[in-house]
Structure 1
């Protein structure tokens, strides 16, 4: 599989030291029975990013009652190969990386694209 144009552009426009991407996993309800499954899902889903978190909000949806249960470790650099694969598979992630590239190249933040 070749490199997607937007990923190539994003890599060219920002070095690993200037690009920091975050990935978050939010789960409404964690139990002893499902925490292992969700932990490995979060690690897998955030393999391309610097950070990933497994967050529990309990049975209510009040964010203030949320807590970070399992903080992931910081990655030394973005895994662009994994990001490239996800860009090809997921249109939302494609749009996200496209906006990161635009920001890296121009310094312009398109609020309507980020606030979704």
Structure 2
């Protein structure tokens, strides 16, 4: 028994160390300690059986399709392509990133906004995707992973294909406390639900710089988004088209969505 307690303390210390590399852990240290000492619920086995038919990354295109309808361009960040991959970097990379530009019809208005209030012209998003959130233990683990991975962004989201309604109250509490939004993803954009909105934060430039140095997918996304910000009127559409081609694709029809879901064993 004593050995188990020491093991839990060790796990907590390691987890705190991994997250503290990218954001301040002090304000939610107690939450994390409860998460580790609580252990894994027996329903995890059921969760694995329920979701093993499709891969988590196959959800990325569904999310991208939904975000395109909200004028947000998104891009998968491939963790395996990073230049530095170790345990300390575990909760740093988001699964997907997104960018939204305020669209005014007149270029003169956009230029004024960029010159006066650049932060009001562009918003950067971070998304952590999961197949299912079944219980309180999973919720806390995934939520704090999303919180850690989005410390650089204006808005951070935890996205899941299936969410147990019994944990909705705890989900709302965490959302109010830490500002991470929660999306219940569906193959069809009209059925995708933003259960809780994300709270806006200032960009974390030191973390953005760190991620650019570590991961080329992230660096290229930031570079191409910045080119759109700096583009002159005569080349703006071409530059934006380059960003769109770099980002993840959506779908052109309901039939294409259905075919994609069937190929990837995603329930729809």
4+ residue segments displaced more than 6 Å? none
- Total equivalences in the alignment: 102
Give 1:42-57 correspondences, 5 Å limit. 42-57=146-161
Q: Which has the larger radius of gyration?
A: 2
TM-score by length of 1: 0.73
- Indicate the residue corresponding to 1:72 in structure 2: 198
Q: 1:113 aligns with which of 246, 256, 262?
A: 246
Give 1:6-45 correspondences, 5 Å limit. 15-32=118-135, 33-45=137-149
How far apart are residue 112 of structure 1 and its match? 1.7
8 Å Cα contact 1:24/1:52 also seen in 2: yes
Q: Which runs of 5+ in 1 are unaligned?
A: 1-12
* Cα distance change, pair 113–97 in 1 and its aligned pair in 2 (3 A): same
Instruction: State how far apart, in whole Å, the 2-side matches of 1:62 and 1:26 are.
Output: 12
- Indicate the residue corresponding to 1:10 in structure 2: none
TM-score by length of 2: 0.34
Alpha-carbon RMSD across the aligned residues, in angstroms, is 2.5
Q: Which runs of 5+ in 2 are unaligned?
A: 1-114, 164-184, 250-268
Q: Which one scores higher on RCO, CA 8 angstroms, separation ≥ 6?
A: 1
How far apart are residue 115 of structure 1 and its match? 3.6
